[in-house]
Amino acid sequence: MKDHFQDHFTMDSPQPRLLDETKQGVIGTPMDRPDGPLKVSGTADYAADHTPENVAHGVLVRATIARGRITGMDRDAALAIHGVLDVITDPRMIRNPAQGMAGAAPVQTGDAVHYHGQPIAVVVAETFEAARDAAQRLSIKYETEEAAVCPQTTPDTETDEPTAAGDFEAVWAEADVRVDRDYTTPSQAAAAMEPHAAIAEWHGDSVTLRSALQMVRFNKAELADTLGIDASKVRILAPYVGGGFGSKLGLGPEAAAAAIAAQKLGRPVRVVMTRQNVFDTVLRRSETAQRVRFGATKDGRITAISHDDRVSNIEGEGFSEPVSQASQFLYSANGLSFTQTVAKTSVTPTGSVRAPGEAVGMLAFEAALDELAEALDMDPLDVRLKNLPEKHPIDGRPFSARRLADCLTEGAACFGWSDRWQAGTRREGDWLIGIGVASAARSNMLVKSSARVRLTGDHAIVETDMTDIGTGTYAILAQITAEMLGLPAAQVTVRLGDSDLPGASGSGGSFGANSAGSAVFLAAKKLRAEIAERLGCDADTLTLQNGQARGENREASLAALVPEEIRAEATIKGGETAKSHFSSGFGAHFAEVAVNEWTGEIRVRRMLGVMSMGRILNEKTARSQALGGMIWGIGAALTEEMQHDPRDGHFVTRDLANYHVPAHADVPGDMQVVFLEERDDWANPIQTKGIGELGISGAGAAIINAISHATGKRVYDYPVLPDRMLEALEG
């Protein structure tokens, strides 16, 4: 066996397009997911599916006050229930340092209560039913403190220094046309299909945790820190994760509780949250209050842009929803200003939820831009095209690759934008019909990531602790390896979600495919060099296809060239290109809606997303990610709203019966996604960009703009529920 020691690659220069020169032809194809049959047959091993021998069941006990401290806990009634093993309180269960990753559980210590629903103990029993019953009977005494549970009226705030370029106030004062609007968005839940779950099992002084987690490399460090042990004593397994959307980025209380209880009891412990627990306890998206201002000349040239927002989180948490993230680079202006205020509340903490920032920020920003177009008496598409910047408006970096103008124009042609009618003039019976457009953007990232590729004959194995949260990681890593080594994808095995494997970026921020995929690419590239050496040709002349190697008039099978295993590891991390160029995915969303003038009901009739997001690795999984984001855009615009009791902050929309995600009837049959051909040489060695979050960015805004076009009226508090629509129609 020949080993290629791990190389560390830093992204410091634009990269050649090797994947455009390889011959296997699997990159970009709509290949089925290798894990698909396991998932549809129910045999994929999710966290809670694992049942070790003698496993005990834990149920989290959660605080019933918004703020204060625990003064007493009467365990007798709980311990008297048949099968109850213990009631465990331990500060480590509710202290999970973020390890630098936004989205980890909040730092809390001792007997302090910071929000209603905060985990404060775990009851462990022989059965789940006994543990649940005991958790409900546990008598707890509190000393309460005054709590701020309404972010809108919370005076205790922190205001950041504005991000600015030019003199906004001066330019704003001189603008010929001005739009100044306030918007609100409610809190949202990730609501992943798989509830949060963990099973911990100790072997001596080492622990194995099976859990639903997105970023295994970071989660391993978090658990080690929580338990006060060395990271070498921790193994995390998460081969399949049933959705995350940011809610499983960091180690949650269920994982810490399972590990602590298993160590104390000397047997495996499973802790699985109910759906209601997830809504109460797991990090949510912050509600927002936003003010957007546009100033422009009479001919439609934007001169002033300001996007200010107010969000919330609990004391001690540094995360804040980056609401104006995309607003800072979508359009050019002489004066720009962006300010954020954070209200400190005693409500379930906020964190990263799919496309943090753009998902809610663009609902307001792109709607305000349409209002500017109305004030200018211009086509909103033309206003967008007229104001695209040549470089990043704040820091001056050139864009690495950007086809936003093409997304807008090609989308308009495909959608039939030229047939657009005057607002409020088209109807079909009781239904008012309108169409809308919005730009889409999501900044692109590269996160340090490692992978190992092993090759024996014509079979390859890919190993990395990268996760697949339903996005298609098993498929794309198999395709990259197959393409690089000239193998059918069926002859590539992908192993994921095991912290004993090389540490990858994890799934989050739409950086997983870019980062883990680039590491796999670089490891396979090293194997190509070894194969070329064995064949006796230069690596640049090597062609690998269907298990055959060719180069410089030489040809041999991989089976003959690699009779014993060879393997290579590679690590990639960001470098100078992130400083010299700004990389982002771009797109345009188009929507047609029908609004019932008597009931306020809104139906989305068709949607189109046109996106430029670098190289597409798998057309099928990419399209699924884009469609999923667009559907979430429907929810953000029309249905999704977490509501809490203003007395103590507890959430009353605690399940999918009361928190309304778009159902089949809400989603139009006519949903199209178009990918424009693009390569971003400055982004990473495989020229890709993030997909999953670009699909939601701007999608809801296109629906909101279509509603305005249909009715001639606007709603400024989202989602646009029927009662809000009726109020606007009557106004």
CATH (domain of 59):
3.30.365.10
Mean pLDDT of 415-443: 98
Question: Given the DSSP bridges, would you call strands 566-574 and 2-11 parallel, antiparallel or unpaired?
Answer: parallel
Give the model's pLDDT for residue 158: 86
List beta partners, residue 165.
336
> Is there a cis peptide before residue 719, judged by omega within 30 degrees of 0?
yes
- Within this chain, do residues 570 and 440 fall inside the same structural domain, yes or no? no
- Within this chain, do residues 565 and 640 fall inside the same structural domain, yes or no? no
Three-state SS letters, 230-251 = CHHHEEEECCCCCCCCCCCCCC
pLDDT of residue 96 exceeding 80, the answer is no
pLDDT of residue 155 exceeding 80, the answer is no
**Structure tokens that stand for 188 in this block:** 């949202």
Give the model's pLDDT for residue 156: 65
- Within this chain, do residues 560 and 644 fall inside the same structural domain, yes or no? no
**Residue numbers annotated as active site:** 693
Of 534, 552, 576, which marks where a domain is finished? 576
Give the model's pLDDT for residue 1: 54
How does DSSP classify residue 229? S
Q: Which of 319, 403, 363 is nearest to 689 (CA)?
A: 403
What single string gives the DSSP state of each residue in 60-117? EEE-SSSSEEEEEEE-HHHHTSTTEEEEE--GGGGB---TT-TTSPPB--TTEE-STT
- Within this chain, do residues 9 and 55 fall inside the same structural domain, yes or no? no
Mean pLDDT of 497-506: 98
Residue span of the structural domain in which 539 resides: 2-30+446-576
pLDDT of residue 98 exceeding 70, the answer is no
d(CA 684, CA 680): 7
Residue range 595-615, pLDDT digits in tens: 999 999 999 999 999 999 999
Residue 617 · residue 27 · CB < 8 Å:
yes
- Within this chain, do residues 594 and 685 fall inside the same structural domain, yes or no? yes
pTM, two decimal places: 0.96
- Within this chain, do residues 9 and 150 fall inside the same structural domain, yes or no? no
- Within this chain, do residues 438 and 451 fall inside the same structural domain, yes or no? no
Give the model's pLDDT for residue 451: 98
Mean pLDDT of 63-69: 96
Q: Decide if 384 is inside a domain.
A: no
Band of residue 99 on the pLDDT scale cut at 50, 70, 90: very low
Helix or strand or coil: residue 28?
strand
pLDDT of residue 104 exceeding 60, the answer is no
**Structure tokens that stand for 580 in this block:** 């010299």
- Within this chain, do residues 554 and 702 fall inside the same structural domain, yes or no? no
Of 354, 379, 413, which marks where a domain is finished? 354
Count the Cβ atoms, other than its own, within 10 Å of residue 569: 22
Residue 282 · residue 119 · CB < 8 Å:
no
Mean pLDDT, rounded, of the chain: 95
